[in-house]
Amino acid sequence: MDLLSLTASEIASKIRSRELTSEEVTAAFLERIRRFDPEIKAFNEVFSDHALAQAKEIDTKISKKEQVGPLAGVPIAIKDNMLIRGELCTCSSNILTGFRATYDAYVIRRLRAAGTVFLGRTNLDEFAMGSSTENSALRTTRNPWDFQCIPGGSSGGSAASVAARLAPLALGSDTGGSIRQPAALCGVNGFKPTYGRVSRFGLVAFASSLDQIGPFATNARDMAILLQAIAGYDENDSTSVNHPVPDYSAALDEDLQGLRIGLPKEYFIEGLDADVKKAVQEAIKVLQGLGATVQEISLPHTEYSLAVYYILAPSEASANLSRFDGVRYGRRAADAGNLLELYERSRGEGFGPEVKRRIMLGTYALSAGYYEAYYAKAQKVRTLVKHDFDEAFKTVDIIVTPTTPTPAFRIGEKVSDPLQMYLSDIFTISCNLAGLPGLSLPCGLSGSRLPIGMQLLGKPFNEETILRVAHQYGKKTSWHKQIPKLGVPA
């Protein structure tokens, strides 16, 4: 049986019916990781023994006809900034060398209850700060469609693992596009839920008012099932919202008749790659053919989003990363003469250049004399960005945009120019500033045979509409079924 052609929900069904065992499924994905990940470098660590032990436990429960979760036996990859009790958690940073989690993140507890099998920890830009996974202190992940290209970031390892079919599912985190952007560049589905929909308890914080955990999968149904497993209120997270979680799978098969789609003119701009523009326009025609109506809208404060993000996110990072001091956990500089020297040397040795850059930017923006001019003003503009979306959703049900301005760029192409790198997230940042749900799904290939993504943005806590649109689009197209010829430009 060709496991690569099976969706996660099909794998789960076959394991429950005992047509497949979790152990053989897990072993097959571990073997694929063994063969291809030395070149892709999606994983920071593979839990080979633990994964097989988990799989055997699930198979035993099923053979005894015990109750199991909806994803029982299905392997999943976890971004290396979520705590798994007893396992290393590095955030792809030298400052967390040797740190082992003492408890499970909320999403990990939920995944255990759902019966998933943890394949390993995936690579990311250090502390999730980056758009290409080149900022990792451990390795540079490669795009499975072309090993000379980046997979996107910061959840590049998770996106690449699903694209290369090293895992049927993965979790990532999204602060300014870190799920959706790599999903687009790797040709998979990636979903950032509404802020507060999924608990951040046990997620190593980057920017607490922006971070959100979400799923990667090859199709909308798997996304719905995985989101169902991790969504919900958690009293351990003060930003978790106690809002009813609907049955995401139930709404997938409703048609799109009368659905109102908004196309923001600020997202179809000069500089947008011609292949990306054409693919998204063709995808919109497919949605129209399914009964949706389209109208142009305006989100007038979009142009300020990038500047707002790069004040607010570094400011929050400056506060959050102050906990890494060389005293309580992680890297500790040797032979420091006093406490201040211990702090300085531990952080100097442990943090990479991009993390240092953002800490300094954030500290400056929060400093006396500059707080009102930068941080406070950015918060006011953030409110205007959210207001734009609130107004737009009075006349439309969903907003459609390109996910990224270009397909994947080459490794090393933008590392010396941070501003060009930051522009990679220009279409995804507003979603985080407004706290909205956003999904990227594959909608084409460029002339050089690299994936192109379309972004769907929805109303707060209306993830089901986004998933329905993605599912109906997927039924009419086959972009999500494309599997890269690993490392070989087509």
Length of the chain: 490
| 158 given a catalytic annotation | no
| 154 given a catalytic annotation | yes
Distance CA 247, CA 53 (A): 31
Give the CA-trace dihedral at 478, 480, 481, 485, to 10 degrees: 120
- Residue 453: CB partners within 8 Å, gap ≥ 6? 180, 183, 184, 185, 187, 402, 403, 404, 440, 441, 442, 443
CA 332 vs. chain centroid, Å, equals: 30
Q: Which of 111, 107, 104 is nearest to 89 (CA)?
A: 104
Choose the catalytic residue: 9, 22, 178, 249: 178
Distance CA 284, CA 293 (A): 10
What single string gives the DSSP state of each residue in 185-222? HHTSEEEEPPTTSS--TTBPPS-TTT-EEEEEESSHHH
Cβ 10 vs Cβ 171: under 8 Å: no
Choose the catalytic residue: 9, 22, 93, 154: 154
CB atoms within 10 A of CB 328: 9
Choose the catalytic residue: 14, 41, 79, 459: 79
- Structure-block tokens of residue 412: 């090393």
Cβ 80 vs Cβ 99: under 8 Å: no
Residues known to be catalytic = 79, 154, 178
